[in-house]
Amino acid sequence: MILAVDDEPIYLDLLTDALVSAGYEIKTFTSALKALEFVDHADLQLIIADINMPEMDGFQFYQEYQNRCSHRQTPFVFLSSNSDPDTVIKGLNSGVDDYLQKPLHPEIIKAKVQSILSRRKKYISQKFSGNLEELPFAKVLQFCELKNLTGWVDILADDYATTINFQGGQLQLDDASEDFEKVFDLPEGHFTINVQQVDYQGLHTDSPGVSVTAGTVSADNEKPMGKLSGIKIQKRLFQIQTEFSDQQDCQISSIVILDGRVVLKRNSKVPPSMNKQELEKIIELQHLSVEEEIHAKLAELLVKTNKTNSKGAKDFHQLYDAGFDKYCSGNFAAALRYWEEAEGINPADKTLTINLSVVRKKLSAKN
């Protein structure tokens, strides 16, 4: 979604006509203050904002957005009828990505937006979305840790929104550490995992045995959003992950993980000519199909997993899930016992460390 802010509705109409005709979704506001109320609850691709506005001008709006959402790396474009070079220089020096001059030309608008968004693609390589009622927040964090992902998780509930950053699979606490306790207690909500690509440009390749191919550092086409969900039956949580891959053949891949092991895989080839929206529809349908297959083959999967899992791995995940169940029921003391026992099996698990920190804080507040 593209956000446009201008106190003159005629320019918002022009932006809307130009961008909608190019296939973009756009949301407009005549007030920067009203726009700020919206940004916390939206996944934005780009922001276009007028500079000269009442109440809050474009510079103030940009600065406030950066203060709130700098982790998102949202491209930002200033819009103004002022052609004074000092104003243009001030805008670009403030950190925005581009500057659009009024009066606006529809084709220039579309070309600028396409250029900016194509540059942005090199930062975000993949996204996964899901619901917290299907996959608990603790499991979302565990997914990020096990995949060694770098990026951030946006959490959105009816009356609450926050962002959790991670780097190389490790959670970045900083000032957001207070949010973990709140997110753990959310009974439902939506999450989006934004995976940031590694920047290889600073890696020197003149060392023996080290090489970086052109394909590694070039920006890929924007990938469709993947799906991540969980199905809990008795004490077992089946984690389902579906995503698009173009490493070899273009295909949609689904895997099901139970107790840390892959118990089911499904791949389907897709034509390389498919666009992002078409691929996301196939991802959704295949993801639902795999969920149905899990229900249908539950007994078979449980028998297979019990035979193949090692005792240590099985014990850790059972203790982890049992602790989470106790946490959700409000029995924090029991949750602490389960998680401390799990810590004895795998003390290096970063997500478990966060769980223990949260539950200990809960118990401390009670005493």
pLDDT the model gives residue 138: 78
Q: Give the domain extent around 351.
A: 311-366
Do the strands 2-5 and 26-29 form a parallel or antiparallel pair, or are they unpaired? parallel
Do the strands 251-258 and 261-269 form a parallel or antiparallel pair, or are they unpaired? antiparallel
Same domain, 228 and 256: yes
Same domain, 194 and 93: no
Coil, strand or helix at 258: strand
Element (H, E) at 238: strand 236-245
Alpha carbon 256 to chain centroid, angstroms: 20
Same domain, 218 and 298: yes
Nearest Cα residue to 361 out of 336, 337, 328, 342: 336
Last residue of a domain, one of 120, 142, 174: 120
Contact 283, 244 (CB under 8 A): yes
Same domain, 87 and 158: no
Taking residue 300's Cβ as centre, other Cβ atoms within 10 Å add up to 11
pTM: 0.49
Same domain, 236 and 185: yes
Q: Which residues pair with 255 in a beta bridge?
A: 241, 265
Same domain, 148 and 227: yes
Instruction: Say which CATH number the domain at 354 has.
Output: 1.25.40
Tokens of 30: 């005549």
Q: Would you state the torsion angle of the CA atoms of residues 326, 170, 193, 68, taken in this order, to the nearest 10 degrees?
A: 100
Same domain, 65 and 164: no
| Number of domains within the chain | 3
Peptide bond connecting 103 to the previous residue in cis, omega within 30 degrees of 0? yes
- CB under 8 Å to 203, separation ≥6 — which residues? 210, 212
Nearest Cα residue to 279 out of 309, 253, 314: 253
Contact 65, 186 (CB under 8 A): no
Last residue of a domain, one of 68, 96, 120: 120
Same domain, 31 and 50: yes
Q: What burial class does residue 236 get, using C-beta atoms within 10 Å of its C-beta: 0-12 exposed, 13-18 middle, 19+ buried?
A: middle
Last residue of a domain, one of 258, 285, 308: 308
Same domain, 301 and 341: no
Instruction: Say which CATH number the domain at 93 has.
Output: 3.40.50.2300
CA dist., res. 174 & res. 196, Å (int): 19
- CB under 8 Å to 313, separation ≥6 — which residues? 259, 260, 261
Same domain, 10 and 153: no
Rounded to 5 degrees, φ, ψ at 317 are -70, -35
Q: What is the pLDDT along the chain (367 residues), one digit of tens a residue?
A: 899 999 999 889 989 988 998 888 999 999 999 999 888 777 788 999 998 898 899 899 998 888 877 666 788 888 877 666 676 777 677 778 788 887 788 888 888 888 787 766 545 556 788 888 888 887 888 788 777 777 778 888 877 777 777 777 777 665 445 566 777 778 888 888 877 765 444 444 444 444 444 333 333 446 788 888 887 765 667 788 898 887 667 889 898 877 667 778 888 999 888 888 889 899 999 998 988 887 776 655 455 555 555 444 557 777 887 887 788 788 889 989 988 988 888 887 777 887 888 888 888 887 6
CA dist., res. 153 & res. 72, Å (int): 10
Name the packing angle between helices 58-69 and 32-39 (round to 10°).
10
pLDDT the model gives residue 319: 83
pLDDT the model gives residue 219: 36
Same domain, 201 and 268: yes
Same domain, 151 and 269: yes
